[in-house]
Amino acid sequence: MEGSKGAAPGTARSPRLDGRVERGNRTRQLVLRRTVDIASVEGLEALSVGRLASELELSKSGVFALFGSKQELQLATIREAGRIFAERVIRPAEQVPAGVGRVWQLCELWLEYSRGRVFPGGCFFYGVIAEFDARSGPVHDAVVSAHRAWTNLMERTIDEAGPSGELRPGTDVPQLAFELVALMEAANAFSVLHDEETGYRRARVGIASRLRNAAADGAPVPRAT
């Protein structure tokens, strides 16, 4: 409308506004990179605006403006951990053709994600699940959703080996997925607690054994020593 002070639809934002948004995005990523590390070791309850502002030499008001509340900071941290997990584990596994080989690769990548300390406390989600499993509220729900998405992915990846003829007919897919996830989580817990890597080797042997038992005759099977 003529005389309106607003910019016309499609008008590019000013360089000043674009620069402010870009700086805000960079600061948000800086904060979240720190929060996922803190939470993986100390838990989501250890996150605070004051601590982050002090450690990252930012203003408290600036950090608060990015998230608005401690709960939103926790939720954003869970989302960021999920993004990193997908980047390091899920997407590389998807490059392998569907079948037992993809299941094995998904497990291998998960074990390396834990062993390589992508997060200093080991698997980010293993720790926060223990912290929020008996609670209620949005953070608990976000943790449940992330865990359910992971187990569903594992089940789906195993199930996809069926049409390719690599899985024995009648394989109990949810049971196999549960056992594989349990072996990975046990390796993570053992490694973090004892500060040693023996558990990863044992988990690989156990996972390879379960996949060999589930694989159809003639299907390529993993071996671990």
Q: Which amino acid is at 213?
A: N
Report the candidate in 124, 85, 122 with the shortest Cα–Cα distance to residue 106. Answer: 85
- Tell me, yes or no, whether 7 lies in a domain: no
Neighbouring C-alpha atoms within 13 Å toward the C-beta of 22: 7
Give Rg (Cα) of the chain. 22
pLDDT digit string (tens) for the chain, length 225 residues: 444 444 445 555 566 656 666 776 889 999 999 999 999 999 999 999 999 999 999 999 999 999 999 999 999 999 999 999 999 999 999 999 999 999 999 999 999 999 999 999 999 999 999 999 999 999 999 999 999 999 999 999 999 999 989 999 999 999 999 999 999 999 999 999 999 999 999 999 999 999 999 999 988 888 876
151 part of a folded domain: yes
Report how far residue 35's alpha carbon sits from residue 30's, in angstroms, rounded to the nearest whole number: 9
User: Considering the domain boundaries, does residue 104 fall inside one?
Assistant: yes
Please tell me the predicted confidence (pLDDT) of residue 45.
Answer: 96
203 belongs to a structural domain = yes
DSSP notation for 8-46: PTTPPPPHHHHHHHHHHHHHHHHHHHHHHHHHHHH-GGG
In the numeric block, the tokens 């980047």 are attached to 87
2 burial via Cβ count (<10 Å: 0-12, 13-18, 19+): exposed
d(CA 172, CA 178): 10
Give me the CATH number covering residue 199: 1.10.357.10
Q: Which amino acid is at 147?
A: H
**pLDDT the model gives residue 163:** 92
Longest dimension (CA), the chain: 77
Question: What phi-psi label fits residue 74: left (phi over 0), alpha (psi between -120 and 50 degrees) or beta?
Answer: alpha
DSSP, collapsed to helix, strand or coil, labels residue 137 as coil
Residue 96: inside a domain: yes
**Alpha-carbon distance 212 to 214, whole Å?**
5
pLDDT score recorded for residue 4: 42
- For every residue of 173-216, which 3-state class applies, written as one string? HHHHHHHHHHHHHHHHHHHHHHCCCHHHHHHHHHHHHHHHHHEC
| Alpha-carbon 127 to chain mean position | 12
pLDDT at 152: 98
Query: Does 64 reside within a domain?
Result: no
As a whole number of angstroms, the distance between CA 72 and CA 75 comes to 5
Per the domain annotation, does 205 fall within a domain? yes
Whole-Å CA distances, 208 to 28, 59, 191, 195, 223? 40, 50, 19, 24, 6
Query: Quick check: helix, strand or coil at residue 167?
Result: strand
Q: Which pTM was predicted?
A: 0.87
Taking the CB of residue 56, how many other CB atoms lie within 10 A of it? 14
Boundaries of domain holding 108:
71-214
The total domain count for the chain is: 1
In a domain, 194, yes or no: yes
